[in-house]
Structure 1
Amino acid sequence: MDTYADLIECEDVLLFANAAITSTGQREFHGSAGEQRLSLDFLHRYIQGNYPDLYAATLALDINDHNAALIIANLLKQPGTGDGRLIAWRLARMSPPRVYRLFRELRRAGVNNRRTRAIIRDWLAGRPDLAFDAVKYRSAVKSAVRHAHLTLTGELGDFLFAPFSRTRYDTPVLEAWRRAHYDKSALYDLPYTVAEGFAARHGISRPIFLERVAPRLTGLERLRLAESAGAAGVATGADLAAMPLVRLASYVLSLAADVRTRRRAELVGALRASAARAAGARAGTWGSVAAVLDDSFSSFGSPVKRRRPLAVALACNYLLEALAGAYRGLWVSRRTDPLQARASGHTPLGQRILDALDTRPGMLVIVSDGWDNAPPGLAAEVLRVWRRKLDPGGEVGIVHMNPVYDADTFDVRRLSPMVPTAGIRDAEDLPALVELARFAEGRTGLAELRAYLADRAAR
């Protein structure tokens, strides 16, 4: 049986997991960037100091890259803490710019023990095309090589430390970079971000540049440039259905209402295809599902996380539709067309929860930042009465997914102690987060949580 200390530990770890999933240290609708960073820094110090093994194990959860980098940096600063294989696995899942930024921060902090050098060495050795990285992230690669005390011989070493010492490179991307200084045609063999600088230097017009560089664009670059390139009369060929669900939802929400209407078939088809890919073998297995989705004004987020909470809600709508055998999505604004979602108005969560529970679904998923204000506290009271009086056996599973970290409470804001709350950043993680949320209900304890983390790490 769990002791009181075990219950506190379980609660602390779940609180940290919610923060590490949702917070990126940036400004939110109800909190400044400074408040976010200060709160998050305290949590990292507190959890690492009190539960070092569980702190390291959270790398196996679906936490965001910002917090994964913080955890890895903190583990490397303390020799003997953390599993090197888990650190290497997590680094392999992170975007290259984020990893190179982490290596630079380790160098600035003077973290240069043997394990750190080995991790940097192995990560660089595992890159599919280090020459490509050397062109796209040249200063970052050079910094990592120096910090790990690596010796690069041949063309790559010359390119990083004496790029004009050779009159020709045999590696195509390195030779393209050399030629691009004087040959306009060579820049189209370079990564987009590098080619863009050379295009400006050579005075190439934007439409011509975009048309010729299009074959070199990554999927994310195609999506980011779709609108600006379209305005210039250039099609980037973005494959919307191949995009991650929340990124795609953010793109859809960035479009004007009339554009969404005109492109309805394309956009809805892409959202459903992306959701079906995320659902995978679980598609159609969740039975009857209802969702209450927050599109109130606070779902706008902030200027640096524009419409992020609303994008998560829109993405969850299509993913739940794919997971459920029967699905009903209810927006707090009472809009019926998810494609036309926009952040506006108050947050009458309580009334919409009543509407959702009226049909007694097998599961109710609430996606909201938790600021119930029309009237304040109604959602909590509805959930309390439902759990204690109308459904004490828990026949209707209820879970609250919150995409926003609340710096004041060191957690995501909860609607009610009657239902579990989990932080969410990417809709694809929703099935795993529903599984994790059961620990917050108090039906399972510390031993089960430790076993769950160990199993995730082993997988």
Structure 2
Amino acid sequence: MSELVAAEDVLLFVNAAVTATGQREFRSSAAEQRLSLDFLHAYVRVNYRPLYAACLALDINDHNAALVVEQLLRTPGEAGEGEGRLVAARLARMAPQRVYRLFRALRAAGVNNRRTRAITRDWLAARPDPALDAVKYRAGVKTALRHAHLPAADAETGDFLFAPGRRTRYAHRTLEAYRRAGYEQAALYELPFTVAEGFAARHGVDRAVFLERIAPRMTRLERLRTERAAGRGGVATGPAGMPLTRLALYVLALPLAERAARRAELTGALRAAARRAAGPYAGSWGRVAAVLDDSFSSSGSAVKRRRPLAVALGCHFLLEALAAPGAYTGLWTSGGTDPLLVRPYGPTPLGLRILDALDGGPDRLVVVSDGWDNAPPGLAGEVLRVWRTRLDPERRTAVVHVNPVYDAGAFDVRRLGPSVPAVGIRDAEDLPALVEIAGFAEGRTGLTELRAYLDRRVADFLAAHAKGERA
């Protein structure tokens, strides 16, 4: 029993670390989210530290990965074997701005032990272009170098950061462009977009002209964020090649009329992204039925606008790719049949849709919802209980509930019932790995099996990191 409790505690934390970002959700405030997460991180670190560190190898989101790293570095006296390698491998995968934010948090907390300085030193040494970082993340680089007592990567970068008036010219192209951009408009277009944008505003450059000329320096995400202004400036943008969830968010941000007009392009892009996400699992799941939540609560919050609905849309196309050809059925709670035109609307009749989905006898049933079954309340859990105990005790149909919304009050994602394994999800492309974790969430395996699974994921994670370093 103690092993089952420990396994449940760790899985509860994994659900939170995958789903929660400390931001406002539809039914809870940002303060409630942060308070709930802080408690979970402290509880799991103190009681299950090796497993807490091993979670860095899972598909937890970067917000929680940064919190795990911070907690581990704050408590060096409790460190276990291999923590440093896990931390270094995870930081290498994170966005640089988030890592610099983590270093600022460590400095504010007065965390400056030898391990923290070594990790900071190694991460900075691995950056591909220190001068570009100095321009793009200037405050973060200065904070990290000062806190870890490190020299700059080279003399020019050091002067740029700490003595900007010392040189009248820089040999490095980006540093020199930054210097010239203060008085020369042409130099703007040699800088990263986020840096050039500030100089363009200072020089009063027309927005459309600026977007047209800076286009070669923009990332795909930056192009999409400025698409409407960019379109007026003649910059060609498009959704091809985007990750699945980000693409779903992009599609849902478009007006319904534009989605309909671009149906072939958007549907093709979503299916291509789903095939990339499915990878070797494509077509291997047999007959699949999905119940997808497009009720009003899927609108999310002001800071996570339409995120739950985007996850459901991404899962729809991913499950279509995972199922055997022609063996997928997707049912939206609204009753809609056109996934490209979904919008957050109405109640959440999960129980009725689950009945429809089970009627076809699928090999797998996947429910993508925040779990607030309210039309009528509790029907989904009762339907699944009767199905599992009376109609399908042999478990011919595998059922899993993936939930994109963290319930701060419950310290977990909201569940449909005790007979249904529930896992948190943030990005639709993580679905295949999360379904594997859902097997542990059924309460039939203990800590030994979960530890073995985490050890395997850690070994794979570190091997991939080492391979990337050699490349």
Q: TM-score, normalised by structure 2?
A: 0.95
Counterparts in 2 of 1:235-246, with a 5 A limit?
Answer: 235-238=235-238, 240-246=239-245
Task: Using the TM superposition, give the Cα deviation of residue 320 of structure 1 relative to its aligned residue in structure 2, in angstroms.
Answer: 0.7
- Residue pairs, 1:33-432, within 5 angstroms: 33-80=30-77, 81-82=79-80, 83-152=83-152, 153-230=154-231, 232-238=232-238, 240-325=239-324, 326-432=327-433
Judge conservation of contact 2:117–2:148 (CA < 8 Å) in 1.
yes
In the TM superposition, residue 237 of structure 1 has moved relative to its aligned partner by 2.7
Contact 1:398–1:420 under 8 Å retained in 2? yes
Aligned counterpart in structure 1 of residue 24 of structure 2, from 24, 27, 52: 27
**Cα displacement string for residues 155-185 of structure 1 (whole angstroms, at most 9, x for unaligned residues):** 1111111123111111111111011111100
Conserved? CA contact 1:225–1:236, under 8 Å: no
Amino acid at match of 2:112: N
Contact 1:383 1:419 in 2 (8 A): yes
Q: Displacement, 1:236?
A: 4.0
Deviations 1:96-153 (A, max 9, x none): 1111100000001010011101101111111111111110111111111111111124
- Residue 284 of structure 1: how far off its partner (Å): 1.0
| Contact 1:412 1:423 survives alignment (8 Å) | yes
Does 1:8 find its partner at 2:9? no
Displacement of 1:59 in angstroms is: 0.9
User: Following TM superposition, by how much is the alpha carbon of 1:286 offset from its aligned partner in structure 2, in angstroms?
Assistant: 1.1
Alignment correspondent of 2:467? none
Q: Which moved more, 1:367-376 or 1:149-158?
A: 149-158
Unpaired runs of 5+ in structure 1? none
For 1:79 and 1:205, the matched residues in 2 are separated by 52
Unaligned runs of 5+ in 2: 461-471
What amino acid is the match of 2:293? D
CA contact (8 A) 1:348 1:374 kept: yes
- The range that moved more, 242-251 or 204-213, is 242-251
SS at match of 2:240: helix
Range 310-319 or range 81-90, more displaced: 81-90
Contact 2:208 2:229 in 1 (8 A): no
The percent identity for this pair of structures is: 70
- Distance in 1 (alpha carbons) for counterparts of 2:107 and 2:388: 52
Checking the alignment, whether the CA contact within 8 Å between 1:301 and 1:309 is kept in structure 2 is yes
Give, in whole Å, the separation in 1 of the partners of 2:273 and 2:213.
Answer: 28
Whether the aligned pair in 2 keeps the contact of 1:100 and 1:140 (CA below 8 Å) is yes
For residues 420 and 318 of structure 1, the distance between their equivalents in structure 2, rounded to whole angstroms, comes to 22
Check the 8 A contact 2:292/2:331 in 1, yes or no.
yes
In 2: Cα distance, 1:307 partner to 1:228 partner:
22
Contact 1:291–1:365 under 8 Å retained in 2 = yes
| RMSD (Å) for aligned C-alpha atoms | 0.9
Shift in Å, 1:443: 2.7
Once residues 426 and 229 of structure 2 are traced to their aligned partners in structure 1, the CA distance between those partners, rounded to angstroms, is 27
**For residues 233 and 399 of structure 2, what CA distance do their matches in structure 1 show?**
48
SS of the equivalent of 2:439 reads: helix
SS of corresponding position for 1:103: helix
Task: State the alpha-carbon separation in 2 of the partners of residues 273 and 241 from structure 1.
Answer: 8
Instruction: Report the more deviating stretch, 330-339 or 274-283.
Output: 274-283
* Letter of the structure 1 residue corresponding to residue 135 of structure 2: V
Give the partner amino acid of 1:32: S
Deviation at 1:282, TM superposition (A): 1.5
- 8 Å CA contact 1:291–1:330 kept in 2: the answer is yes
SS at match of 2:423: strand
Q: How many residues align?
A: 454
Match of 2:463 in 1: none
Letter in 2 for 1:433: L
Q: 1:234-256 CA distances to partner (integer Å, 9 max, x unpaired)?
A: 32434x12111111101100110
Q: Deviations over 1:64-89 (max 9, x none)?
A: 11111111000001115251111011
What's the offset of the Cα at 1:60?
1.0
Equivalent-residue separation in structure 2 for 1:74 and 1:249 (angstroms): 33
Give the match's secondary structure for 1:260: helix
- Structure 2: how far apart are the matches of 1:289 and 1:262? 29
Q: Deviations over 1:410-445 (max 9, x none)?
A: 000000111100000011111000000100112322
1:456 aligns with 457
SS in 2 for 1:387: helix
- 1:227 Cα deviation from its structure 2 partner: 2.4
Code of the residue aligned with 1:168 in structure 2: it is R
Structure 2 CA distance, aligned partners of 1:48 and 1:91?
Answer: 19
Q: CA deviation at 1:382?
A: 0.3
Letter in 2 for 1:92: A
